[in-house]
A and B are shown apart, each in its own frame.
Chain A
Amino acid sequence: MGDNKFIFPSEEWIEKYEEVLNASKEYEDAAYDWEGDFVFEIEPDGEIIKESIRFYLDLWHGKCRSARMAGANDTAEFTYAGPYKNWKLLFDKKIDPIKGLMQRKFKLGKGNDMGKIMRYTKAAMELVNATTKVPTKFLDE
């Protein structure tokens, strides 16, 4: 890791993300009473990503209690999923996390509790903002 960048997606990346998220005062403040786990999913594109890659996050009262790479069968209360190229654009702040959903660049899991998400949009945004704070090197770079 000569240039101190973390390859996305990888075990090291998610470890770093957990550290960054737990250092985020903005996230802690916005999610102070949030209870619920999340899966970030990078959907297969048939080129760089052959099978879907998933990260599991256990989020509790403004902190991330654990974060790890997850298998296809790991479930969570919420899923935020999109193809690899859109994750890259998200990290570059070229896609806005909420607009991204409206533009169908990302999607939330079927049956996710939208009422809850709508009450915590700031927390959700800070969750995604934290991804942009991880020094990231992409698989195809």
Chain B
Amino acid sequence: MSWEYDIPKIVFGEDAIEELNRLKGNSAFLVTDGVINKLGLVEKVVQILSDNQWNIAVWDCAEQDPRVSSVREAAEGMRNFCADIIVALGGGSVMDTAKAAWALYAQPDMDLTALNPFEELGVREKAKLICIPTTSGTGSEVTKAVVIREDESGRKFATINPELVPDLAILDPYFVKDLPKNLTAWTGMDALTHAVEAYTSSWKNAFSDACTMKAVKMVFEWLPKSVADTSDMDARGKMQVAACLAGMAFSNSQVALAHSLGHSLGSVLRLHHGMSVGMALPYTIEYCCTDEDTAKYYAELAAIIGIVGKKPETVARKFAEAIRVLMEKIDSPTSLKAAKVTKKKFKEGLNKLVEYAMMDAAITMSPRNTDSNIIKRIYMAMFDGEPIDF
């Protein structure tokens, strides 16, 4: 059965931002957030665009884990400004705001919670999208995915549409130079989770696999360096590439259980996305590796970082442990307790955590099937930091 592999043009490395000089058009709508603006990163982009006589509007109101209402505001801005290019400068939250607003710009009456992979949006009749990531993790600069929150419930919902793959991704290390240690660590774990889940998801394919293998190798090598010395620009540039490769991988083969668990943690406990999915990853490996084929896939990834053995399931469990060791090294919590979630808060939120995880589309990609009871047991293990043995 035929399948497709969608990616944008990618310009990467020092001064990659100069690529903006080659854009054609009149009105550039820049989506970003207040933190990025304060850091002075917006100025660099605005400078290049104004040197090229663009009309520029800067909208710096993107929220962390954007809500539908916030996306609507961004879309309104695009419409009023008649934007013909949209430039997203920020982390996953900014890029997802821009992508979802792009969809609304083309389809003003659309219910965003109904955004799905099957319908035509016609976004390119309105504008092109350029993404400049300022974190190294989500890969949103190359993916067809968006993650938005419902206003009323606060539930994060992830969806895909092939048209939402940006037109151009610019990976310039300058924009991640000030990313603090904790965000470097968490977003790096998001990248690793994308890579591993893409390799074991039911839609895996050779193109995604190739990207995963390089991404896994790079994350284990460069993430600890990137966190240990935040001025190591070489490590930062490498993590940008690793995150982008992992994004290319999962965009075309999907994420799975760790993301369903993680999205729910973001919705209910408001934990950072990368911290959540990274924490969930080893538990989901331990759960899914009882499936024979999946255990082999994990073992293939484990071999990349030098873990080998006769029995794939045993190797997979060692791989899960190696991921925990990596997280300890970079100070990313391996349990909910370690993330300072209190027992009371966890107990209060548990039913909602399970309910939202079951509603998350990525759960259908899990290589081993789940049900609500299993999801609950995995969360309980995650709270205490107990490896999964069921």
Binding site for B on A (CB under 8 A): 25-26, 29-30, 89, 94-96, 98-99, 101-103, 105, 107-108, 113-115, 117-122, 125
Smallest Cβ distance from B122 to chain A, in angstroms? 16
Check B363 for interface membership: any CB of A closer than 8 A. Answer: yes
Task: Choose from A25, A101, A102, A120 the contact partner of B371 (Cβ within 8 Å).
Answer: A25
Check B361 for interface membership: any CB of A closer than 8 A. Answer: yes
Q: Is the interface of A mostly helix, strand, loop or mixed?
A: helix
Other than the known A103-B1, A103-B2, what 15 A-B pairs have Cβ atoms closer than 8 Å?
A29-B358, A29-B372, A29-B373, A95-B1, A96-B203, A101-B117, A102-B162, A103-B3, A105-B1, A107-B118, A114-B118, A115-B114, A118-B113, A118-B157, A121-B363
Q: CB-CB < 8 A to A119: which residues of B? A: 113, 157, 359
Q: CB-CB < 8 A to A101: which residues of B? A: 117-118
Task: State whether B114 touches A118 (Cβ < 8 A).
Answer: yes
Listed A/B pairs (12) with beta-carbon separation below 8 Å: A29-B373, A89-B1, A94-B1, A99-B3, A107-B118, A108-B118, A117-B116, A118-B361, A119-B157, A119-B359, A121-B361, A121-B364
Task: Choose from B2, B3, B113, B358 the contact partner of A122 (Cβ within 8 Å).
Answer: B358
Q: Which chain A residue has the least Cβ–Cβ distance from B361?
A: A121
Check B125 for interface membership: any CB of A closer than 8 A. Answer: no
Check B111 for interface membership: any CB of A closer than 8 A. Answer: yes
Question: In the bound complex, how far is the Cα of B114 from the Cα of A119, in angstroms?
Answer: 9
Task: Choose from A25, A103, A105, A114 the contact partner of B119 (Cβ within 8 Å).
Answer: A114
Question: In the bound complex, how far is the Cα of B3 from the Cα of A120, in angstroms?
Answer: 24
4 nearest interchain CB pairs? A115-B114, A114-B114, A121-B361, A29-B371
Check B290 for interface membership: any CB of A closer than 8 A. Answer: no
User: Provided the pairs A26-B369, A103-B3 are in contact, do residues A122 and B364 lie with their beta carbons within 8 angstroms?
Assistant: yes
Interface size class on chain B is 20 to 34
Q: CB-CB < 8 A to B314: which residues of A? A: none
Task: State whether B114 touches A26 (Cβ < 8 A).
Answer: no
Check B64 for interface membership: any CB of A closer than 8 A. Answer: no
Q: CB-CB < 8 A to B111: which residues of A? A: 115
Question: In the bound complex, how far is the Cα of B254 from the Cα of A4, in angstroms?
Answer: 38
Question: In the bound complex, how far is the Cα of B373 from the Cα of A121, in angstroms?
Answer: 18
* Residues 142-180 of B contacting A (Cβ, < 8 Å): 157, 159, 162
Q: CB-CB < 8 A to A120: which residues of B? A: 359
Q: CB-CB < 8 A to A30: which residues of B? A: 358, 371
Q: CB-CB < 8 A to B114: which residues of A? A: 113-115, 118
User: Provided the pairs A102-B118, A125-B364 are in contact, do residues A96 and B2 lie with their beta carbons within 8 angstroms?
Assistant: no
* Residues 335-389 of B contacting A (Cβ, < 8 Å): 358-359, 361, 363-364, 369, 371-373
Q: CB-CB < 8 A to A95: which residues of B? A: 1
